[in-house]
Structure 1
Amino acid sequence: MIDTRDVDAAGIFKGRKREDIESYLNQLGSEGWELVNVDYRELEGGSEFAGIMKRVSKY
């Protein structure tokens, strides 16, 4: 399971931006992970999410 806390932020009290979350998920995708379920919310101070990922099998 992954969530908003896994994404680097500009500071401890700064919210995560959509672009930061997208970049983080794209990085995981390039490492062979696939997002299979996500709960995503746009908030006034940033965004938050929780998701489930699985390793993509290679044949």
Structure 2
Amino acid sequence: MTEESYSDRTPQENYASFLNALAGIEDDAGIEGYSQEGIRFLREALEEFRSEYRSRHVA
């Protein structure tokens, strides 16, 4: 089985993958006890990107 590349997926699928990756980074930062200010920035970014995703891809 071949692995899909970025160009093989729809823009919606790529955006969803990006959101999952960002959410994973935010989770890892919290688990590891990294900078609370940095985690706050990640959460704010995730909220903004999720809002944009909904406006672009959710009817």
| Fold in common (TM above 0.5) | no
Richer in helix (by share): 2
Q: Which has the larger Rg?
A: 2
TM-score normalised over the length of structure 1: 0.35
TM-score normalised over the length of structure 2: 0.35
